[in-house]
Each structure stands twice: as structure tokens, then as C-alpha cells.
């Protein structure tokens, strides 16, 4: 089936895609493994960590992405990275605001917890996030250049 025909059949969900056809191998990129990789990538945005989580290498994931019949996989990959980065930024901001609970141990026994704040994490989260993240129209354009922002006419 040609790539364009498969792309037209895929729904508007950026994480729904037609898996890349690969040779059936127990240690290869099966359809289930590709979907698990995209789901894992959407949780934190790290290609290396997502590949390791599904038992593959980042290099093999990038080779799969570079294949000519991987248009849907590429689209899902980009959407997952965008979502994963947003999730990671939100978590960094939460930890920076609320701090972390650190156990207090005296004479080998846990006697309580204290809340530790790290302003470096807050600075990294604030200065590491491009402001386009907060622009809905820019996010829609990055994910689907042909789509229009529902808030504009």
C-alpha cells in the first residue's frame, strides 16, 4: 500500500500511526514495540530512555525513523517528543515550586523528612523552555502544518 494511502487512513490523533513494516523478529521493531516506544517517548521526551524501555537501542530507533515508509511513525515520534518535553518541564516546575522530600536519618534510623528546594532546577526549567510552548497556534502548526488553530478564523 503506498505511503500516501496509509496516511489518509490514519486518524487525526497524532499518536495513532501505521507501524513501519519490518521483518518478523523476536528482537526487532514489531508493531507493538513501535507503539510502546511512542507511548514511552510521550511520557518524558527522551529517545534513548524510550528505546531502552522497549529493549531497543536509540540508533535502531533512528534508523527505523529514517526509512522511507515511516511517515506515520515520524509524525507520532514528533508529537510524542513535544508532549514528553512538556511533561518533563511541568514536572521540573512542580518540583522546583514544591521541593523534594529528603529523608532525615540519625544513628541509622529514619527520624523524619525535610523539604529541600533547588533554585537551579527552577532556573533551568524557566530558561530551558522556549516561549513557543505556551503558544497554542505554534504548537498546532508544529504538529500539523496544514491544520488551522481552532481559535482563529
- Residue 145 predicted with pLDDT over 50: yes
- Pairwise CA distance, residues 138 & 130, whole Å: 11
Are 139 and 149 within 8 A, CB to CB? Answer: no
CA 109 to each of CA 39, 65, 112, 113, 114: distance values in angstroms, whole numbers, following the listed order: 40, 50, 9, 12, 15
59-89 pLDDT, tens digit each: 999 999 999 999 999 999 999 999 998 888 8
- Pairwise CA distance, residues 126 & 131, whole Å: 9
Mean pLDDT of 4-17: 62
96-136 pLDDT, tens digit each: 888 889 999 999 999 999 998 877 877 777 776 555 555 55
Top pLDDT among 115 and 144 is at 115
- Pairwise CA distance, residues 46 & 83, whole Å: 11
Q: For 133, phi and psi rounded to 5 degrees?
A: -60, -30
Query: How many angstroms separate the first and last alpha carbons of the chain?
Result: 36
Residue 105 forms beta bridges with which residues? 110
Q: What is the pTM of this model?
A: 0.65
Residue 115 forms beta bridges with which residues? 101
Q: What percent of the chain has pLDDT over 90?
A: 42
3-state secondary structure of 41: helix
How much is the pLDDT for 6? 47
How much is the pLDDT for 54? 95
Give the H/E segment covering residue 120.
helix 119-128
Confidence band for 95, pLDDT divided at 50, 70 and 90: confident
Amino acid at each position: 500500500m503506498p505511503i500516501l494511502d496509509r496516511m489518509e487512513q490514519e486518524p487525526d490523533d497524532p499518536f495513532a500511526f501505521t507501524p513501519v513494516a519490518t521483518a518478523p523478529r523476536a528482537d526487532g521493531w514489531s508493531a507493538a514495540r513501535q507503539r510502546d516506544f511512542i507511548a514511552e517517548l510521550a511520557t518524558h521526551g527522551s529517545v534513548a530512555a524510550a528505546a531502552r524501555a522497549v529493549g531497543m537501542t536509540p540508533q535502531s530507533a533512528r534508523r527505523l525513523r529514517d526509512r522511507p515508509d515511516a511517515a506515520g511513525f515520524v509524525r507520532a515520534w514528533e508529537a510524542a517528543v513535544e508532549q514528553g518535553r512538556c511533561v518533563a518541564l511541568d514536572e521540573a516546575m512542580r518540583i522546583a515550586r514544591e521541593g523534594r522530600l529528603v529523608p532525615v536519618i540519625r544513628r541509622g534510623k529514619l527520624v523524619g523528612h525535610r523539604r529541600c528546594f533547588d533554585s537551579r532546577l527552577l532556573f533551568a526549567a524557566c530558561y530551558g523552555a522556549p516561549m513557543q510552548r505556551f503558544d497554542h497556534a505554534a504548537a498546532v502548526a508544529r504538529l500539523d502544518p496544514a491544520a488551522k488553530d481552532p481559535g482563529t478564523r
